[in-house]
């Protein structure tokens, strides 16, 4: 595609100023670059916002004075986006291939029924896999490595306002899209580098929140017949944490579940039994050409 694809690129930022600027440089250096770049800076970090404005005058910057979390930031960016296709990035994630946005535009042009395409992610030290032009069905996505149709996300509503959203954020949006009959795909044709070792996932507060968020998602979306399955999901996460040596945060995560559910009760909107069953049935399958 020779023309600049009509895609908005969004970046959620907080305190990692150098990484945010590096991500924006890499987005800007894509050929072609995105048609628009938006940045949300959380928790009143005006130093980060000022650095972005100074280095990238054309980038639109939004600042939340209080912490709204990654979901709250993405809600503001999606609302402000000028284009139907939106590519989400974290402050430490960016495209590997310079024609990333051309590829994304072509994929959605060929597949008008697709709501979102989640990219293949690589972390420091990992070997790159080939960028094959194939897709596969998926039941979820990565928040900082996804391209989606803006109108479809606006139909299902906002991201949950969680300061720590692991275990709930993308799973919730995916479930709501599936409930609407939307198609979600993964593709190695879109490749993202996530400049993180994910060591922060072992922090007690993140470990605890992830456990509680799994229970929260079930409370907010699952019909009651799936509650036993939800209990197994929580138990599996606890077992995973213990197996990985992440003991700290397990007890506090289980203990915080009742209050966590109570505080978020206003967001409760159950999806259909068919949607939950369909999400459980979806597994990454064989790749197909497009």
Q: How high is the mean pLDDT of the chain?
A: 95
Residue 178's region, left for phi above 0, alpha for psi from -120 to 50, else beta, is alpha
* DSSP one-letter string for 43-89: TT-HHHHHHHHHH-TTSEEEE-SS--HHHHHHHHHHHH--SSEEEEE
Supply the pLDDT for residue 285.
66
**Is 287 a domain residue?**
no
pLDDT over 90 percentage in the chain? 92
| Cα separation, 168 vs 215, whole angstroms | 9
The average pLDDT across 137-161 equals 95
Asked whether residue 246 carries a pLDDT value surpassing 70, the answer given is yes
**Is 140 a domain residue?**
yes
Residues 188 and 61 reside in one and the same domain:
yes
**Is 89 a domain residue?**
yes
Residues 159/108/106/138 CA torsion (nearest 10 deg): 70
Helix (H, G, I), strand (E, B), or coil: what is residue 258? helix
Supply the pLDDT for residue 5.
87
What is the total count of domains within the chain? 2
Asked whether residue 2 carries a pLDDT value surpassing 60, the answer given is no
| Cα separation, 264 vs 256, whole angstroms | 12
The average pLDDT across 157-186 equals 95
Tokens of 227: 């509650």
The average pLDDT across 153-172 equals 94
The domain boundary, picked from 197, 220, 241, lies at 197
Asked whether residue 91 carries a pLDDT value surpassing 90, the answer given is yes
User: Residue 6 in contact with residue 85, Cβ under 8 Å?
Assistant: yes
Residues 190 and 209 reside in one and the same domain:
no
242 class by beta-carbon count within 10 Å (0-12 exposed, 13-18 middle, 19+ buried): exposed
Asked whether residue 172 carries a pLDDT value surpassing 90, the answer given is yes
The domain boundary, picked from 175, 197, 219, lies at 197
Enclosing H/E stretch for 217:
helix 204-221
Residues 39 and 100 reside in one and the same domain:
yes
User: Residue 144 in contact with residue 89, Cβ under 8 Å?
Assistant: yes
Residues 81 and 223 reside in one and the same domain:
no
CATH of the domain at 158: 3.90.550.60
| Cα separation, 70 vs 165, whole angstroms | 7
Whole-prediction pTM: 0.94
The domain boundary, picked from 197, 227, 258, lies at 197
The pLDDT tens digits for 6-29 are 999 999 999 999 999 999 999 999
Please report which confidence band the pLDDT of residue 284 belongs to, taking 50, 70 and 90 as the band edges: low
Residues 102/104/107/111 CA torsion (nearest 10 deg): -130
Tokens of 255: 């203990």
Asked whether residue 1 carries a pLDDT value surpassing 50, the answer given is no
User: Which residue range(s) make up the domain with 154?
Assistant: 7-197
The pLDDT tens digits for 78-88 are 999 999 999 99
Residues 241 and 190 reside in one and the same domain:
no
Query: Within a 10 A sphere around the Cβ of 21, how many other Cβ atoms?
Result: 18
Backbone φ, ψ for residue 134 (5° rounding): -140, 165
Those residues with Cβ within 8 angstroms of residue 126's Cβ, 6 or more apart along the chain or in another chain? none
| Cα separation, 54 vs 107, whole angstroms | 34
- Residue appearing with tokens 């938006």: 38
């Amino acid at each position: 595609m020779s023309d600049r694809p009509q895609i908005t690129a969004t970046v959620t930022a907080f305190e990692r100023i150098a990484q945010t600027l590096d991500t924006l440089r890499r987005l800007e250096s894509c050929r072609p670059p995105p048609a628009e770049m938006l940045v949300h800076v959380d928790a009143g970090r005006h130093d980060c916002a000022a650095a972005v404005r100074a280095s990238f005058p054309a980038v639109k910057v939004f600042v939340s004075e209080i912490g709204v979390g990654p979901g709250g930031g993405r809600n503001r960016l999606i609302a402000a986006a000028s284009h139907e296709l939106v590519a989400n990035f974290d402050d430490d994630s960016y495209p590997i291939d310079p024609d990333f946005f051309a590829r994304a535009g072509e994929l959605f042009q060929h597949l008008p029924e697709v709501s979102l395409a989640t990219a293949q992610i690589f972390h420091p030290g990992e070997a790159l896999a080939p960028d094959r032009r194939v897709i596969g069905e998926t039941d979820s996505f990565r928040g900082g490595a996804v391209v989606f149709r803006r109108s479809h996300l606006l139909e299902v509503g906002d991201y949950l306002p969680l300061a720590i959203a692991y275990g709930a954020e993308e799973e919730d949006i995916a479930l709501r899209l599936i409930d609407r009959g939307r198609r979600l795909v993964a593709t190695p044709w879109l490749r993202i580098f996530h400049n993180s070792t994910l060591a922060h996932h072992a922090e007690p507060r993140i470990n605890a929140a992830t456990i509680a968020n799994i229970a929260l998602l079930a409370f907010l979306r699952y019909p009651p017949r799936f509650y036993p399955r939800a209990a197994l999901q929580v138990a599996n996460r606890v077992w995973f944490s213990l197996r990985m040596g992440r003991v700290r945060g397990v007890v506090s995560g289980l203990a915080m579940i009742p209050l966590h559910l109570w505080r978020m009760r206003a967001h409760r909107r159950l999806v259909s039994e068919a949607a939950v069953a369909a999400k459980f049935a979806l597994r990454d399958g064989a790749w197909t050409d497009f």
